[in-house]
Structure 1
């Protein structure tokens, strides 16, 4: 037990948790509404998109890099997906646009991975450049505009809920979006991968000392490449969730989230 207590007290997460708990208690004392069921559900629902982005950013940070291109990547992947489906009058199941967006996200992530694994340039500089490329393709080459009408299945997914929480004192109701399950699944998979697989161990090894990781046999280039493919997929899923929830595709809605997500 003393060893466990010492370990907890030396963990950064413990002190961050104390700050969050203290802030929550202050807000609760002032408003009396922070810990109500509907507010907690609202917070959980609002956390889905930045939470998915944060998982992707976490994987990159663990590997010793910083990726600031994921909002632009997500915007481009989702815009192309939505534009193609709308222009062709598609009205099938919602899994199809998610798969298409994930495929495009993987392709754009591979573009990031190719440069980060081959060039000895800081990932921040590379992803700043690719973010401008993705944004330029979307707004310049594709002349992106807001798409107000998205496929019915996407709109239905965005408005569907797992359950409704009601605040008895105020009468306010909040719905837990089905997309929250996507966040739970991605967090669970990321936890398993980073904790129990050789790929996850290689991320930590590269983040600790890239040269040492290469000397002991980790495939640094391959790991970096596939890392950014995975980040692209997660970012595209986050962008699709946001588009479904809004009921429309706004090409610049996600841009500018990178600093908040990294923080």
Structure 2
């Protein structure tokens, strides 16, 4: 847990690299704020994925179409990283500009305490990877941005994930070509977004095996076929993200409670944590211990 007085656990960045090197895929549920990140950690997962889709929805109640600024995303990443002890991988969209903007973006995310960041090759303003109407920058420009990102990080353990959305705009061949170029530019992990068939997923896994660790985006309700964890293990994916399941679950829960309140005049609390249980979840016992420790009595 992200204790108020800090943790003496090993570096989350070194830990993330260790987890990515394991033979089994690293499973990373999405978190959109500090509370959802704490719940991911309390559920026993080894890493938190800060979703840009969920961050946009939770902060401004809007779709993921490039409306948030880099500063807003970094602020959310900082709060999430401070709330947990496990490594946090944060969506950094396009880097919010050209290669020079990427330099500052990488440094700000690094200062925020995340263990890894994800950069993509869309034109800004970007769109969620499973929406239509995307446009990409040239491969050479993205290579330059990744080279800038590599040189910008002060901690060499910060994991750089390079994502290409070329499947939707140029096809699977171009996506694989771009991924190879991104690895040569220094990306630590490769992310081919939104393949639409299992055959294309297999091509990505086969042709990029050994080039760099690979991400599988198990986007809930998205364009990519949902594979079993066993199948993703067979294909050799190193990181599997489940970006918006927590957001969808929260939305369903809130809707249900509000519907009961509207219909009955009182909210239905069935299945909800009790007040005391919830305060335990968010760390009240630690606060009470610290109050006693520093009370001076």
Using structure 1 for the length normalisation, give the TM-score: 0.24
- Does 1 or 2 have the higher relative contact order (CA < 8 Å, sep 6+)? 1
More helix by share: 1
More strand by share: 2
